[in-house]
Chain A
C-alpha cells in the first residue's frame, strides 16, 4: 500500500491511497491550525456550522437526503487535537462504486458535496446564518459540558489541563465553555475565513479510484480555494523535557461518583516522534501499561486486584506519557505506589525477554493492522501531516520496533519524570 502525496495549491495537500480492499471509500478535508486558547472554541464550531447546509443543499435535512441518495454516505464534522494542532474537518465515507446497485459512480458527486459544504455555506448578511450559529453554539456548550459524563476520559482531560496549563497542549480540542458561549455569527465567520486563508488543508482519499480521478474530482474545490489562500500557518509542537516545578503536583476533585479515578502524567525527557528513540518509546508504553501482559495490568490489576483498569498511553507528538486507572477511594495511595513501583522496575531493567517480546509484538500488531482499516489510515496520515514525518510509514515503524533492545526501553523509563497526579474522589461525608 502506497501513500501518494501531492501539493495542489499553497498549503493544500492531497494524500491518496489506492486500494480495492474496502467496500467503501473515505474522502475527507481537514484544516490544521495551531491550537490556541482563545481560538479553540470558535474554530471548533466551524465544521458543525458547515454541515448544517450549503449552496444546493441549504438545510441539514437536504444534506442528509443527498447523502442517502449516495447510498447512505456519511459526512461527519470532526474536531480533533494532534499534538498542539487543532484539526477541523469533514470526514466522508461513501460506498465504493463497485457495490452500487446499478454501476453508479459515487466519488464525483461525493466530492461535489464536500466542495459545497466546505466553500458554500449558508450565508445571511455576509456571515453564517444566525439560526445555525445559535444552534451549534448550544450544541458545542453541551458537548463541552458532556465531557464530564464519561469519568474515565474526564479524569484524563483534567490531568492534561492541570499538567499543561501554560502550554497550548493544555487547551481542550473544543475550547472553553466561556469562549464557546461568546461565539457570534461574525466571530465564527472570521474563524472560518482564517482557516480558508491560513489553515493547512489536508485532503484525504482512500478507495479504489486512481489518484488522477481523485485529483480531477477535487479540482473544482482547489480552484475555488486557491484565490482565498494567504500565508499558511506553521504547525509546531513544543516538547518540554522536564516538569516545571521542583516536585510533582497533586490535584484532587470531588464529584458524586462510586469509583475513584487516578491519573499520573509523566514527561518523557524529550522522547517523541521526531527522535531516534521513538520506537523504544512505543515499546516502553506497551510494556509498562499498554497490553494485557504489561506491568500495570499484571500487577496492579491481576495480582493485587487494585482496580478494574490501569493502563498507560503516550502522546508521541508531545512527549507525555499518562497512566489512567479506576480505583476505590481508600486504595488510591496503595495503587499510586504500585504504579510508581512498576515504573521503577522497568527503569531497573527488571523485565523478562518474554515481556519485551510481547510488548514489541503488540506494537507491531498495531502498525501492521493500520493498512487494513480506513479510519486508522486516515488518522495515521493526519499524524504524519502534523508531524511532517512522512517517511515513518507503518512498515518502517514495524521494522524499527523489531530492533528495540531492553537497554533502550529501560533508558526511556529512566527519562520518565512524574509531573502531575490527578485524583477524582467522591463527595466527603
Chain B
C-alpha cells in the first residue's frame, strides 16, 4: 500500500488497489478505540437506466434503495444481525449517486469487516423475501410522505429539472416498488456491485495492510468497471418552473430555494466547484453575512435556515431554505443580493475571513469517522483527492466567487418551493 501524509491536516492516508479493481483507503488514527468501515458502490437512486452486456436496462424507481435493504439477507440469516451480535453498530444508506454499507465497532473489527465485505458481495434474494420487504419499505415510504422537509426539497428539484432522474424519490413509490422482483435485484447487483465499481474506506487505529489483505481474501469477484448510465436528454440551463406551493401538517411555512448549476465533470475541478459553491453560499447567506442577519432581524428566517452546494451525476445546484413566515420575501432579498454582489463583488477582508472559517469548518468535520469515510469514498468516485482541500481553498479568489454569482445565481436559474400549514378546519 502507498502511504501519503497530509501535513497540514495531520493525517496519514493509505491507499491500495486489488487486481480486480477495488480501491481501498485507510485513514489510520492512533489513539482511538473505535473503528469505522464503509463499503460503497457507485450506484444510487438516479441509476434507473443503464447498459449491461444484454443492452439497455430500464428499472423501476427505488431499486438501489430496495437492494440496500435486501442485501443484508444471507443464505444463512441476516448480516445486520450477525454484525450486531458481534458488537458492531451496522447500517447502510442510499443516496442519489451511491449506496454505502458501514459499521462502527470497538471490538471484533476484522470479523465484522469480513462480514461486511462478504454480504455486500454475495446476494441472496427470494420471491418471498422480496414480497416481505415490499411491506417494510412501503411503510418507510409512507413515513417519508409525512416528512415535510424532505418533500419540500423534492418539490424544489421538480421545479429545477425537466427530466433528470433527480426528480424521483430515491425510495421510489408504492407503485414502483411493487414492480421489483428478485430478478430485478440480481440484474442490478450484477451490474453495479462489482469491485471495479466499488470502494472500501476505513477509519481508525487499524493495520492498513491487514485491511488490504482481508479485502483481497473476501472480495474475489471479477472487476467489470462502471456501467454506462442514461440520465435523459440535456437539461435546459434555467429552472423549468419558477415556484410551487402546497399544504401539509406543519406548524410554519417551509421553503427551499435553489439555483440550477452546470453539471460537474469528474476530476479535481469538481472539488473546486464544491468549495466555490459552498463559499458563495456562506458569503451570501451564511451566519456572518449581512443579508442573513438582516433577514433574521426582520423575523424572516431563523436558526433552522441553511444553505449548501450539492452535486450528483449529471446535475448540481445550490439550495437554501428553512422556515419563514414569508418565503417569497426571502427569495426576493436573495435575488437582489445576488444582483448586487454580481456587480460589486465582496469586500476583501470579509472574503478572507469567510475562507478561513470554511477551512476551519472542513478540518473540524474530519473529527467524524463517518463523515471522513463517506467523503473519501465519494471523492474517489468523483475522481477527487479530498484531502487536498486546504490547497484548493487557497486557489479560490474573491473574483472567482463573484463570477460564479454573476453567471449562475440568476433569476433565470432559480426556483422556489414552499409547503404551508393546513388551514384550520
Closest to A326 in B: B143
CB proximity of A406 to chain B, nearest CB, Å: 16
Q: In the complex the two chains form, is B302's CB within 8 Å of A23's CB?
A: no
| A69 nearest in chain B by CB position | B353
| CB within 8 Å of B: which A135-155 residues | 135, 138-139, 142-143, 145-152
A364: chain B residues at CB < 8 Å are: 87, 106-107
> Could you give, for residues 228-267 of chain A, a 1 whenever the CB lies within 8 Å of some chain B CB and a 0 otherwise?
0000000000000000000000000001111100000000
Query: Is A365 interfacial (CB-CB < 8 Å)?
Result: yes
Chain B residues in 8 Å Cβ range of A61? 288-290, 292-293
Contacts A257-B146, A258-B146, A305-B136 given; indicate if A361 touches B296 (C-beta within 8 A): no
Q: Are A64 and B287 in contact (CB under 8 A)?
A: yes
Interface size on B, residues (CB 8 A): 68
Question: Which of A160-168, A219-227, A367-375 lies at the interface?
Answer: A367-375
**CA A218 – CA B261 in complex, angstroms?**
47
With A142-B323, A358-B84, A369-B106: A72-B297 Cβ-Cβ less than 8 Å:
no
Chain B residue contacts of A199, Cβ below 8 A: none
When distances are taken between beta carbons in the complex, the residues of chain A under 8 Å from B135 are 305
Asked if B329 lies at the interface with its beta carbon under 8 angstroms from chain A, I say: no
Q: Which residues of A contact B105 (CB under 8 A)?
A: 365
- Max count, chain A CB within 10 A of own CB: residue among B9, B89, B254: B89
Assembly CA distance A127 to B251 (angstroms): 31
- Decide: B364 and A139 in contact? CB cutoff 8 A: no
Residues of B within 8 A of A73 (CB): 357, 360
Q: Which residues on the B side are within 8 Å of A33 (C-beta)?
A: none
Cβ-defined partner of A142 (8 Å) among B81, B142, B251: B251
Set B34, B140, B148, B287: member contacting A369, Cβ < 8 A: B34
Query: Does B10 belong to the interface (CB within 8 Å)?
Result: yes
Question: Nearest CB to that of A152 among chain B residues?
Answer: B143
**Given the contacts A149-B148, A365-B88, A68 and B81 also touching, CB distance less than 8 Å:** no
B288 touches A139 (CB 8 A): no
In the complex, A301→B250 CA distance in Å?
28
B252 within 8 A of A: yes
Of chain A, the residue at the smallest CB distance from B131 is A305
For chain A, residues 72 to 119, give those with C-beta under 8 angstroms from any C-beta of chain B.
Answer: 72-73, 93, 95, 98-99, 101
B354 with A362: CB separation less than 8 A: no
Q: Report whether B33 and A99 are in contact in the complex, using a CB–CB cutoff of 8 Å.
A: no
A372 to B32, Cβ gap below 8 A?
yes
Q: Are B33 and A72 neighbours in the complex by a CB distance under 8 Å?
A: no
A139 to B303 alpha-carbon distance, docked (Å): 8
Q: Which residues of A contact B107 (CB under 8 A)?
A: 361, 364-365, 368
A357 at the interface (CB under 8 A from B): yes
| B residues in contact with A326, CB < 8 Å | 139, 143
Find out whether the CB atom of A292 lies under 8 angstroms from the CB atom of B90: yes
Q: Does A195 contact B (CB under 8 A)?
A: no
Considering the chains assembled together, what is the distance between the CA atoms of A368 and B357 in angstroms? 32
A328 at the interface (CB under 8 A from B): yes
Do A369 and B104 form a contact, CB below 8 Å, given A68-B288, A358-B84? yes
In contact, A308 and B140 (Cβ under 8 angstroms): yes
The A-B contact count (CB < 8 A) is: 183
* Cβ contacts under 8 Å, B323 to chain A: 142, 146
Complex Cα distance, B302 from A71, in Å, reads: 23
Contact between chains at A72 and B106 (CB < 8 Å): no
| Residues of chain B lying within 8 A (CB to CB) of residue A23 | 9-10, 363-364, 366-367
Q: A68-B353, A71-B357, A292-B90 are in contact. Are A149 and B149 (CB under 8 A)?
A: yes
For B86, what are the chain A residues with a Cβ–Cβ distance below 8 Å? 358, 361
Determine how close the nearest CB of chain B comes to the CB of A183; give it in whole angstroms.
Answer: 15
Chain B residues whose CB sits within 8 angstroms of the CB of A191 once the complex forms = none
Q: Are B85 and A98 in touch, CB under 8 angstroms?
A: no
Query: Known contacts A145-B251, A259-B139, A365-B88: does B366 contact A292 (CB below 8 Å)?
Result: no
Which residues 270-308 in B have Cβ within 8 Å of A in the complex? 286-290, 292-293, 296-297, 299, 302-304
Cβ of A369 and Cβ of B33 under 8 Å apart? yes
Flag if A328 contacts B249 (CB, 8 Å). Answer: no
Interface residue range, chain A:
35 or more
Contact flags A44-65 to B (C-beta < 8 A → 1, else 0): 0000000000000001110011
* B231: chain A residues within 8 A (beta carbon): none
Compute how far the CA of A146 lies from the CA of B304 in the bound complex, rounded to whole angstroms: 10
- For B142, what are the chain A residues with a Cβ–Cβ distance below 8 Å? 258-259, 308, 328
B4 at the interface (CB under 8 A from A): no
Complexed CA–CA distance, A192 and B140 (Å):
44
Against A, the Cβ 8 Å flags (1 = close, 0 = not) of B28-41 are 01011110000000
**Chain B residues positioned under 8 Å from A21 (CB to CB):** 29, 31-32
Q: B87 and A358: CB pair below 8 A?
A: yes
User: Which residues of chain B are near A142, meaning CB under 8 Å?
Assistant: 251-252, 302, 323
Cβ-based interface call for B386 (8 A): no
Is A392 interfacial (CB-CB < 8 Å)? no
Question: Chain B residues with Cβ under 8 A from A381's Cβ?
Answer: none
Contact check, B364 vs A293: say whether CB atoms are below 8 A apart.
no
Assess whether A148 is in contact with B251, with CB atoms less than 8 Å apart: yes
Among A101, A131, A147, A259, find the residue whose CB has the most chain B CB atoms closer than 10 A. Answer: A259
Check B363–A95 contact: CB distance below 8 A.
yes
Known: A68-B357, A135-B297, A308-B136. A292 touches B34 (CB 8 A): no
Closest residue on chain A to residue B29 by CB atoms: A21
A325: min CB distance to chain B, Å: 10
29 CB-based A-B contacts, threshold 8 Å: A21-B31, A24-B363, A59-B293, A60-B293, A64-B288, A67-B287, A71-B357, A72-B359, A72-B364, A95-B364, A101-B356, A135-B299, A142-B323, A145-B252, A146-B252, A149-B148, A149-B254, A255-B249, A258-B145, A258-B146, A298-B81, A307-B139, A308-B142, A308-B143, A358-B81, A358-B85, A365-B34, A366-B89, A369-B104
Give the interface of B toward A (CB within 8 A): 8-10, 29, 31-34, 78, 80-81, 84-90, 104-107, 132, 135-136, 139-140, 142-143, 145-149, 248-252, 254, 286-290, 292-293, 296-297, 299, 302-304, 323, 353-354, 356-361, 363-364, 366-367, 369, 422
Give the 4 A-B CB pairs with smallest separation, nearest first: A71-B360, A72-B357, A361-B87, A72-B360
Given A148-B251, A362-B89, 11 other A-B residues pairs in contact with their CB atoms under 8 A: A60-B296, A68-B357, A72-B356, A72-B361, A73-B357, A146-B252, A149-B254, A258-B142, A292-B81, A327-B139, A354-B85
